């Protein structure tokens, strides 16, 4: 039995080394805007395939609530917002690692209806029709798509008149779901969101926005995985990451 002890000790050492390597594998949490859900899941899979030592966990929601979570100390390494305003607030609160903020994608705002809708909506003013009873709009106080929508309606002189019809949602994906289920006659979402449900919703037209729908990404200052967080952000901006985003309809920054 004694002649096997060196072999057993060697196996034990290798096992411990393997366990140690696994325990030190870099794992990061990425908080990203709801509209990035599908694209970022694919980016995460491709990233982990290219870097087997990495593990990416995602937290998807409206940008406003994500910022609140980070401000309250949630363990987040990377933040990707659907608008500049939310990232501006993160920067003003000192939550970002200096020099890591970059724009990585753009989008457009569209008006959608259920796929079988017969409503003749050609302009924002047409939403005042009597047969349009409910309109899904992200909460402008916390949801970027809601702010873009409100600004567009204000510019068109329709915001006040449409207030009785507005159903505030907590994310762009909730607006999409409301329209897809026929619970509202129309809704404002990003073009990329409308594209993932072509059988259930139909985009009628692009809504002009006062500001570009621009997405910034940054590393959080309190991250314990700065190196890994920055590597992931770089990957999002790399040709591989940009190819995935463009496949889902996002345009380059």
Tell me the mean pLDDT in the region 5-33: 58
Lowest mean pLDDT among 3-12, 70-79, 220-229, 237-246: 3-12
- Give the pLDDT confidence of 10-23 residue by residue, as tens digits: 444 444 444 434 44
- Band (pLDDT 50/70/90 cuts) for residue 25 is low
Residue 139, C-beta contacts closer than 8 angstroms, at least 6 positions apart: 62, 64, 146, 168, 169, 170
Residue 172 assigned ligand-binding role: yes
CA distance 169 to 60: 15
- Give the pLDDT confidence of 231-245 residue by residue, as tens digits: 999 999 999 999 999
- Band (pLDDT 50/70/90 cuts) for residue 8 is very low
pTM recorded for the entire structure = 0.87
Residue 190 assigned ligand-binding role: yes
Residue 63 assigned ligand-binding role: yes
| Structural domains in the chain plus CATH codes | 2-106+213-247 (3.40.190.10), 109-207 (3.40.190.10)
By DSSP bridging, strand 109-114 and strand 201-207 are antiparallel
Q: Which residue has the higher pLDDT, 24 or 220?
A: 220
- Sign of the torsion formed by the C-alpha atoms of 211, 215, 218 and 223: positive
């Amino acid at each position: 039995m004694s002649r096997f002890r060196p072999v057993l000790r060697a196996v034990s050492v290798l096992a411990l080394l393997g366990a140690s390597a696994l325990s030190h594998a870099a794992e990061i949490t990425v908080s990203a805007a709801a509209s990035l859900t599908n694209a970022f899941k694919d980016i995460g899979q491709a990233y982990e395939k290219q870097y087997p030592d990495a593990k990416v966990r995602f937290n998807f929601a409206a940008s406003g609530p994500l910022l609140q979570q980070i401000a309250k100390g949630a363990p987040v390494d990377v933040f990707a917002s659907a608008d500049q305003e939310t990232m501006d607030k993160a920067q003003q609160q000192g939550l970002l690692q200096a020099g890591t903020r970059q724009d990585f994608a753009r989008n457009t705002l569209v008006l959608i209806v259920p796929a079988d809708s017969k409503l003749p909506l050609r302009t924002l003013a047409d939403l005042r029709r009597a047969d349009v009873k409910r309109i899904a709009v992200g909460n402008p106080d916390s949801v970027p798509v809601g702010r873009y929508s409100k600004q567009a309606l204000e510019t068109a002189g329709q915001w006040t008149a449409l207030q009785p019809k507005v159903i505030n949602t907590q994310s762009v994906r909730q607006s999409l779901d409301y329209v897809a289920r026929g619970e509202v006659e129309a809704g404002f979402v990003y073009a990329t969101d409308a594209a993932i449900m072509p059988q259930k919703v139909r985009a009628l037209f692009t809504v002009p926005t006062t500001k570009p729908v621009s997405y910034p990404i940054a590393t959080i200052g309190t991250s314990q995985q700065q190196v890994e967080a920055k590597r992931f952000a770089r990957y999002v901006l790399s040709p591989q990451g940009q190819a995935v985003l463009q496949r889902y309809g996002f345009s380059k920054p």
